[in-house]
Structure 1
């Protein structure tokens, strides 16, 4: 994948980077959107990249960025009434989301389904002197996590057998933890935290959960393989890669949770002002893929850095690493995360045939991807769970 990386021009690098980012952002929302951008048009259809639809989407995205920056409606003087209403609505919605996201302890308990007390468990797991008993004490404080771990050790492929060849049902969390082992738990726990954080209801975009989970796990595995090449901890990189994706989970959950509430408030205001036209637009309004993309682009890394300040053990400094990337001044571990998630993006796009290998090569060159990591990653099932029997594939 890297034999001719050095032969591409700067212009090609820029165009490839833009194309990859745009396609991946749409793949997270829906495979159909990403495939359309990749030019997989049906017979008789115009290629999406050259169509008026693509131009309209780019124009809309620029409007959304204006909304994020809280510009006035004067910038939308040439937009349709529908676009103005959409802008005004999302400007208000984004403000509400940002306000909610500042209280991450509440977000964790009310939206993600876990407590920031998980930090104590992560701290124990990263102590050289930690014992199984100490880990057990922390895990049983989180019933959902105990339940998930019990499910894993009782999967058919992991069950141990007695002398007669019968599968043994694990019934205690201590036995489950001994089966998994402390080293494996350093990855299993972040994996479970990410899984717990995924949005459940995202209509009309039901694929978000699956794609977001695959992205988070692929980033974590990729980071854990790149980090040792830079003399950094594989386990710390895995934790950072998994939890960083929760920034997107938070924003997506808040978007869908607050969408109907905000729309109800706007419809009530429109009714009071006797704006039937605006009321009809709001009534028919659906969650916007483009606004959802813009929301993640603008805030996901910052939210992830804030979250890690609550969850990450102080000795790991993962919050600082995430913040360095959000501020475009990546630390050594921040750069590993950047490489890992860009590799995860092109791997997912390649898997779904939304990109070609030539474009992958150019994109990896554009981000200074370490060539010695490529062969390792290409021969690894990066989306595999950390408790899989093997992480290698032929």
Structure 2
């Protein structure tokens, strides 16, 4: 999948400029891939016959203009530098400035976010803590599971899938009818990965029009990061299950922001249109009526706040002794913790693998990118031969 070992001899020959450009290229392409495969294909030059290149298109020019405005919205929150912008750009900037502020405010109340945005209870922290107690029994796990009916339902559904269903001595499939039986099939150790996987799955945004691919790409990214982290961690004498949880739940930060963006978009627009009508600003009202969710602003929102939201969420939901919130925080506020470093490697590997699978990046760019982040060479072969997008379930044996 990703050739790497032969690049060590070339490390000293790689210029800083090459590393920076490769890193920026990977990040930009990946962020656009999360929103839409078509966007990243255009960036990679995969135009169809008769189409103009992305760089020459009006879409590219609009994107460059919007990115400039987004930077102002995030860093300066000022309209002074927008004097030369069009009315549409000014209205879009003002609209998203207000929308971002509303999103940030709601994202700070994690108890409400978990219950009303993610559909989970903050009490799930108790379940995660129990799973990491050495003397935990399945009975204790079952008691905690009763607080989360959605989780019991998902686990029951999985163990009854044909590929995972156990069979009796005669080869007949066994229908699991109780959560106690399902938990005994999985075992406490497997649940350390199964539960975070299910939390990520439940947290995914459902309605993201006009970008329907977001859910699929987010899930792929979260699972790939989790599996990659769980495989890299033991190489650094760290716990693979803790790394899996960190990798899976770090992706929920993006889910929170994306859900809030689409949920608050129409509410904010209605409020702005009402204000424009009150002020008799027909021109502004017309612009607002045509505004649609912006891929560029959505990307800017995630780049600016996703890691911080994920850090707060991990502190709020995961066992304190694992210090996953601290590891997440170290990604954007050095120095990095050992597990934070593993997460960095895992998610960068997940990014390049997703891009490579869709032929939206060159192998040369992958090599330079991984070298630029100090990716461990001994992890490459392991990850290349792993199904990093696979769920944490294993087919049951044919007999009891």
Contact 2:197 2:392 in 1 (8 A): yes
The 1-side partners of 2:369 and 2:60 are apart by 21
Deviation per CA, 1:118-174: give whole Å up to 9, x if none.
111000101111111111111111000000000010000111223432211100000
Change (3 A) 1:314 1:266: same
Match of 1:95 in 2: 101
Give how far 1:320 is off: 0.8
Pairing 1:320–2:326 present: yes
Contact 2:253 2:313 in 1 (8 A): yes
The 1-side partners of 2:178 and 2:88 are apart by 57
Match of 1:250 in 2: 256
Deviation per CA, 1:253-302: give whole Å up to 9, x if none.
00000000000000000111111111111111100000000000000000
TM-score of the superposition, structure 1-length normalised? 0.96
Unmatched tracts of structure 2, length 5 or more: none
Match of 2:220 in 1: 214
Match of 2:277 in 1: 271
Contact 1:38 1:49 in 2 (8 A): no
The 2-side partners of 1:329 and 1:84 are apart by 39
The 1-side partners of 2:304 and 2:238 are apart by 28
The 1-side partners of 2:243 and 2:56 are apart by 40
What is the Cα-based RMSD across aligned positions, in Å? 1.3
Match of 2:369 in 1: 363
Match of 1:160 in 2: 166
Contact 1:139 1:146 in 2 (8 A): yes
Match of 1:204 in 2: 210
Contact 2:345 2:373 in 1 (8 A): yes
Match of 2:194 in 1: 188
Match of 1:173 in 2: 179
Contact 2:164 2:394 in 1 (8 A): no
TM-score of the superposition, structure 2-length normalised? 0.95
The 1-side partners of 2:315 and 2:77 are apart by 31
5 Å-filtered alignment, 1:33-48, equals 33-48=39-54
- Aligned residue pairs total 390
Give how far 1:50 is off: 5.5
The 2-side partners of 1:106 and 1:134 are apart by 26
Which stretch of structure 1 is more off in the superposition, 40-49 or 245-254? 40-49
Q: 2:89 aligns with which of 83, 86, 90?
A: 83
Which stretch of structure 1 is more off in the superposition, 45-54 or 334-343? 45-54
Match of 1:4 in 2: 7
Match of 1:140 in 2: 146
The 1-side partners of 2:57 and 2:263 are apart by 33
The 2-side partners of 1:58 and 1:327 are apart by 28
Change (3 A) 1:294 1:21: same
Q: 1:105 aligns with which of 104, 108, 111?
A: 111
Deviation per CA, 1:55-93: give whole Å up to 9, x if none.
431331121121122421111111110000000000000
Q: 2:316 aligns with which of 310, 315, 328?
A: 310
Give how far 1:189 is off: 0.4
Q: 1:64 aligns with which of 70, 79, 94?
A: 70
The 1-side partners of 2:152 and 2:59 are apart by 48
Give how far 1:237 is off: 0.3
